[in-house]
Amino acid sequence: QSVLTQPPSASGSPGQRVTISCSGSSSNIESNYVYWYQQLPGTAPKLLIHRNNQRPSGVPDRFAGSKSGTSASLAISGLRSEDEADYYCASWDHTLSGQDWVFGGGTKLTVL
Amino acid sequence: QLQLQESGPGLVKPSETLSLTCTVSGGSISSSSYYWSWIRQPPGKGLEWIGTIYYSGSTYYKPALKSRVSISLDTSKNQFSLNLSPVTATDTAVYYCARGIAVPGALPDYWGQGTLVTVSS
């Protein structure tokens, strides 16, 4: 069971807008940055969004991150077939056990 | 261009030690601007942070793995390494090495391609 909760799947048709949610708590999302990674089949994760809503150079502005309280979301607009991938949210977590990085369980995006 | 490449045995016996090395090219692991990490992904499952090392040698490990993990730097070879011991079948996973910017709250920006390690007798 992942510390951050994501829907296991999402889907949309080309050109549509899709949103993926990520739910956490006060010890992780609410008090730390949220990152989003895209993992194409058989490849390593690629950084998509950092510091809640910042895109690294080369990431299209079709991808947008946001955060509010203990939740975050990734919006993908103008959906394209090459967006079909697994998407993971991640954040630092501060607990009594110490500092930890935590990930969501991943959302498999299907482009219909 | 920064590149990270994992290497090591693809098969490890239960109760033994998993040892992996990450070779960094296109950047120096001695830079104070970055940290270096290991992350794993069991087959068909999600991602799990294992630990991180800074240029100073300071290390931070996932609390649940802390008693079994060790990460070290070899600046002469521009490499960093992971040791995990003892291993069980649940340690079977693709292991990734990654780099992050050494500022508070930052998570990795570059990842290696990953290497599959199977724990089996």
* pLDDT for the residue numbered A1: 79
Alpha-carbon gap: B74 to the closest alpha carbon of chain A (Å): 24
Q: Which of A40, A34, A54 is nearest to A103 (CA)?
A: A34
Give the distance from residue A15's alpha carbon to the nearest chain B alpha carbon, in angstroms: 28
pLDDT per residue as tens digits for the range B53-93: 999 999 999 999 999 999 999 999 999 999 999 999 999 99
Across residues A75-92, what is the average pLDDT?
A: 97
CB contact under 8 A, A44 and B105: no
Beta carbons of B107 and A90 less than 8 Å apart? yes
**Between the CA of residue A44 and those of A12, A38, B5, what are the distances in Å?**
23, 9, 12
Interface of A with B in 48-107 (CB under 8 A): 50-51, 56, 88, 90-92, 95, 97-106
**Residue B25: Cβ within 10 Å count:** 10
- Which candidate in A101, A102, A103, A108 is best for mutational testing of the B interface (most B CBs within 10 A)? A101
pLDDT score for A102: 94
* Model confidence at A99: pLDDT above 90: no
Distance CA B7, CA B29 (A): 17
- CA B88 vs CA A42, A70, B12, B20, B51: distances in Å: 24, 35, 9, 16, 18
A9-12 vs A107-111, strand pairing mode: parallel
Is pLDDT of A84 > 90?
A: yes
Which chain A residues contact residue B63 at CB under 8 A? 95, 97-98, 100
- Beta-carbon contacts of A42 under 8 Å, excluding residues fewer than 6 positions away, are none
Q: For A16-33, how does the pLDDT look when each residue is reduced to its tens digit (9 = 90+)? A: 999 999 999 999 999 999
Task: Write the pLDDT tens digit of every residue in B37-51.
Answer: 999 999 999 999 999
Q: Determine the average pLDDT of the residues in A38-56.
A: 95
Mean pLDDT, all residues of chain A: 95
Q: How far is B44 from chain A (nearest CA, A)?
A: 10
Helix (H, G, I), strand (E, B) or coil at A29: helix
Residue B31 CA to its chain's centroid (Å) = 18
A2 pLDDT above the threshold of 90: no
- Put simply, whether B96 touches A (Cβ < 8 Å) is yes
Residue A74 pLDDT: 98
Task: Compute the mean pLDDT over every residue in chain B, rounded to the nearest whole number.
Answer: 95
Q: What percent of chain B has pLDDT above 70?
A: 100
**Is B54 at the interface with chain A, CB within 8 A?**
no
Please give the pLDDT value at position A98.
81
Of the pLDDT bands very low, low, confident and very high (cuts 50, 70, 90), residue A97 is: confident
